[in-house]
Every structure is written in C-alpha cells, then in structure tokens.
Amino acid sequence: MASQNRSRCPATIRHGSSSSSTRWKTRQGSDYFAREARVQGLKSRAAFKLLEMNDKYKLFKPGQTVVDLGYAPGSWSQVAFSRTSPGGRVVGIDLIPAQPPRGVSTIQGNFLSPAIQAEVRAYVQEPDLGRPRQVFSTEPENGFTEEEMQDLEKGYIDLERQAHLEGAEQAESGKDTGVDKAAERRLSVKERDRQHGRVVDVVLSDMCEPWDQTSGFHKRSLSDPYSRLANTSGIAFKDHADSMDLCNAALTFAFDTLRTGGHFLCKFYQGSEDKALEMQLRRLFAKVHREKPDSSRSESKEAYFVALRRKEEPTREEVFRE
C-alpha cells in the first residue's frame, strides 16, 4: 500500500505544476484557427485576423512596401509578404529576437527608440533594400561582383542616416530662405511624398506593452519575453492605456512615412481613450473602421482600427491636436 501511495504522488505533483500549461494546450488544441495555422505553416493563429481584414478592405497589392511593428513571431509579416509578392518588401521591427519569416527583413530593437525609428526610415527610403533578388551569375554587373555589391550595402544605414540628416538641414534652411512653395505644388503627389520621406504603403501595428514580471522567475512561461509581450497584464485600464500609447507611437510613425493613399492598421484594447485616437485617424485618413475579426477570441478586449487612404493635406498640428 505504501508503494502505491508513493507511485501516485509524482503524478499528482506534475499535474498541479503544469495546470496553466495544460489549460493553454487544451484551448489551443480545440481552437480551429490554431489548428489551421499549424496545417498551413503559419507562425500563429493571428495570421487569420489579418487575412480576414485584408479580404474585407484589400490592404495589400504586389510590389508594396509594408512595415510591421511588433512583428514577432511573424504571422502578419508572412501574410503581408505573400500578398505583396512579387516585388514587395516587408520590414518587421520587434523588441525581442525572433526568426523572421522567409523574405522578410527585420530589425530587433525598441520601436519607441528614436534611433530605431531612424534606422527604419533610412531602410525603407532606399527602394531596392529588402526586396528579394535573384542572382543568376557571379559575373560582374555594372562593374561590381555580387560580393562587392553586398559589401557596399552593409553601410546603408550610416549612409541613409547621413542623407536623412542632410535632408533635414536642407529643409530647415529652406524654411529660413523662403523656398518657393509653388515649385513643390507643381510636383506630382508621388514626388512630393518622396521628398518628405513618405514611401511606405502599409503600416501594421500588432504591438503589445510588456507586463512586469513579479513572480515565477523559474518558469519559462513567465520569463520568456514573447509570452510577456503577447499576453495582457489582466488589468483592463493598464492594458488599454498602454495600447493607446503604442497606437499613438505607431500613428506618429505612419504620419512621417506613409505615402498618400496608404493604409494603417493597429491593434488596441478598448476603453475610454480610443475615441480620441479614432478622431486623429479620421483627420488623416479618408475612411476609418473598427474591426473585431472572427478569429479574435470573444473574451479578448482587443480590437483593430483599419484606416484607409491617407490624405496628403493634413498637417501634424491638425492631426494630433487635442
């Protein structure tokens, strides 16, 4: 009898220590979208949220440039790359290291850092960077071998950062000397966008604020950074306020980089401040929609703003005024 009791104890302890993991596995196992993601080779079930919204609003076209903020683990970038091929490019930014999906360029860093945002702007303003290239020969082309071309590209961040600084200086000097605004108006919309660094077609933001770890440091489920970024804190007001901060940062970035006619999509947690964000979006975009995709879990407070066709005329002061 004593041996039987001893044999039961380990099983009981294992079950208790893994209860949260078991609940998660049970939910995932019975989740249609989680199963379909595995079958289709998608990074996560979140891909179906973007697929659903793209089917409804036609966000993507071949050849576009897409910036995916908070891309890890990469399912939205997977969808964006497939829908912008051939010729498109997708740039993902995330705080945590993650294996990028095929064809996607990524930058690891805190998007809220001005230095990281400068790197992203420098990257996308170079039209050929990040686009898949096929190399059929190692013979020199235009005087450079493929190896030499790769060496030249290594310093693009520094070069583009310098160009960005020089452009800013020229813009400031232009203000001082009274540059002819009529000359700018004679340019095409595309040329004006390019002049202001607006070269992105779609900005996506699925960012979450990492919640502070206070216990369970021995458990990977808590110490793993992706888990703390992918899940809410459980405090509704905090989750809402944090999401508003991230949405505003993403919208500011979109204002600076999104071309006229481009689209913006961001996740937010519903609350008292989302109406103010919606008002800002309506000032900058022709159409703004709130979405709760079928693949978003019903108990989740998450929702999405889908903002279509960026307007050219609104100024920063007009869009972000109180």
State the catalytic residues: 267
> Under 8 Å CB-to-CB from 45, ≥6 apart: which residues?
31, 33, 34, 36, 37, 75, 295
To which residue do tokens 């020969």 refer? 137
d(CA 46, CA 72): 11
> Under 8 Å CB-to-CB from 280, ≥6 apart: which residues?
248, 251, 319, 320
d(CA 2, CA 112): 60
Cite the DSSP H helix spans in 129-224: 146-153, 156-177, 181-185, 189-195, 220-223
C-alpha torsion sign, points 164, 167, 172, 173: positive
Buried b (16+ CB within 10 A) or exposed e, 55-87: eebebbeeebbbbbbbbbbbbbbbbbbbbbbee
Residue 273: CB atoms within 10 A of its CB come to 17
